[in-house]
Amino acid sequence: MLEASFISSKAPISVAVLGAGHRGRAYAEQMAASARFQVTAVAESDPERRSAFAEQHQIDRARVFESAEELLALPPVADLIVVALMDQLHVGAAVSALRSGYHVLLEKPMATTLEDCELIERTQRETGRTLMVCHVLRYHLVNQKVKELLDEGAIGQIVTIDHVEALDPVFFASMFVRGQWNNEQTSTFFLMAKCCHDIDLISWFAGEKCRRVSSFGSLSYFTRECEPPGATDRCTQGCLAEPSCPYSALKIHLSGAGSHNPSIQYPDSASDVDAHRVYNSSLGCGNSRKEILHALETGPYGRCVYRSDNDAVDRQVVSLEYDHGIVATFTVTAFNASINQRFTRIHGTGGVITCDYKGNWIEVRKFPKNTFERIELPAIQAGHGGADQLIIKALAGSFDPEGGDPLTSAARSLETHRIVFAAEEARKSGRVVALN
Ligand SMILES: NC(=O)c1ccc[n+]([C@@H]2O[C@H](COP(=O)([O-])OP(=O)(O)OC[C@H]3O[C@@H](n4cnc5c(N)ncnc54)[C@H](O)[C@@H]3O)[C@@H](O)[C@H]2O)c1
């Protein structure tokens, strides 16, 4: 078991990263830039990612592992573990790490079943280790400020919250039609995979317990019924619609490989700073035209978006009712006209708050005097509009003597994961689901 005194001293907290993919690398980069952390171990099953990560963080060869399981079978090799594996591997890694004595930074979703989320929370309580869930949106400057305004009563009592997540269709198709979150069997359902952040954010703003949820949504566009005439299983098979198809894998991955294709709307947000690089890094091949073409001819990213094995919904609405009558709506759509965006509008008994997470502004209108204030917040150059940096700062702060429970602790995150499971049950059953 690691000594608490070590953590409470100002010595750097040593970190082992499980999964050196997009998220593992993003957190490690923020940690490397902080004096409070030192990345000293990695477990990554892909040899190229593993060696690039080990080299970037100058990790001793003895602390470079081929799998999370191999690292976790040993006595602790660090103070803290970052679990940045795919969704279904979270529970095993988090529980094993906590039981070994590690503190844990756990990517969302906590796990893919409610029972496993509960197991993680229970294990965290029993071991007394710190566990922070990566609900990064809570740490974004705009959302922090909105929460502060709500808590100080700037718009009176909250009445309604409306929150929209609008995704770039090309981004959606890459991740949720062709990519590794396209099917519940291999990852988790769409609302959990993409929007557990949003339900968490709405619930944090509401500051009350959620009582009931209902939900509607479906996969209605990225289906066989919507395919254009002349479609083929893959974009590389002479599809007649390919030249005009916005989802052409040839355009997304090959046109000017390594540079942005101006004809495609790339998301500019978050972890997708250089979307083309991100899209192509998902292919798991080199950057030459030949290698990319081979990946499109044989791998998941070359499949026709109307003929994939996807079951992720491409639209969903969730209605939520909180204690004391606050009601909220959440809408997610795969069909934004441009980049990925999130919009929030909160009506209170004394005014209205609107905010733009991308534009870093908040507007507050108050009545009856009809005052108006626009608050501009600084842009931070890190993933998720700076939130990737702020969550690591908050993680460091949670080890200070006055640190307290993380804002996205296991217990708080379990509560909002419960709502996501209930919403999905409501969507599938067509019933209103009560939360006890
Ligand atoms: N907080 C956020 O905003 C946010 C954003 C995107 C993704 N995520 C979540 O982060 C997690 C990781 O997503 P990602 O985009 O980094 O995926 P990724 O595929 O880029 O990274 C996962 C890495 O784990 C490696 N891996 C798989 N099995 C392994 C094992 N047994 N041992 C060691 N390494 C193994 C893979 O080779 C891969 O490099 C997912 O759960 C995802 O839902 C969170």
| Per-residue model confidence as pLDDT tens digits over 308-344 | 999 999 999 999 999 999 999 999 999 998 788 899 9
What share of the chain in percent tops pLDDT 90? 83
Q: Provide mean pLDDT across the span 48-59.
A: 97
Domain boundaries along the sequence of the chain: 4-129, 138-222+312-382+409-434, 224-302
For domain 4-129, give its CATH number from 1.10.3810.10, 3.40.50.720, 3.30.300.180, 3.90.1150.10.
Answer: 3.40.50.720
222: pLDDT strictly greater than 60:
yes
Q: What is the mean pLDDT of the chain?
A: 92
Whole-number Å distance between alpha carbons of 40 and 379: 30
> What pLDDT is stored for residue 7 in this prediction?
56
- Ligand 1 centroid–CA 85 distance in Å is 4
Angle at 428 between CA 425 and CA 429, to 5 degrees: 80
Q: Is 267 in the pocket of ligand 1 (CB under 6 A)?
A: no
Q: Helices H, strands E: what count in the chain?
A: 14, 15
Query: How far, in Å, is the centroid of ligand 1 from the Cα of 348?
Result: 39
Residue 198: CB within 6 Å of ligand 1? no
C-beta atoms surrounding 152 within 10 Å: 8
Instruction: Give the model's pLDDT for residue 209.
Output: 97
Residue nearest to ligand 1 atom 21, measured at CA:
21
CA of 25 to the centre of ligand 1 (A): 10
Q: What is the pLDDT of residue 175?
A: 94
Distance 22 CA to ligand 1 centre (A): 7
Using the atom order of ligand 1, give the atom closest to the CA of residue 270. 3
What pLDDT was estimated at residue 402?
87
What's the pLDDT score for residue 264? Answer: 44
Q: Give the pLDDT mean for 45-74.
A: 97
Instruction: Count the neighbouring beta carbons within 10 Å of the beta carbon of residue 354.
Output: 17
Give the percent of the chain with pLDDT over 70: 93
Does any ligand 1 atom lie closer than 6 A to the CB of residue 49? yes
Mean of pLDDT values over 207-220:
98
Flag whether pLDDT at 259 surpasses 60. no
Assigned CATH topology for domain 138-222+312-382+409-434: Dihydrodipicolinate Reductase; domain 2 (3.30.360)
pLDDT, residue 185, reads 95
Confidence check: pLDDT of 5 > 70: no
Q: Is 110 in the pocket of ligand 1 (CB under 6 A)?
A: no
- Confidence at 357, pLDDT banded by 50, 70, 90: confident
The pLDDT of residue 4 is above 80? no
Average pLDDT over residues 81-88: 97
Name the least confident of 62-71, 277-286, 311-320.
Answer: 277-286
Contacts of 34 (CB under 8 A, 6+ apart): 392, 393, 396
- Taking the model in full, what pTM does it have? 0.93
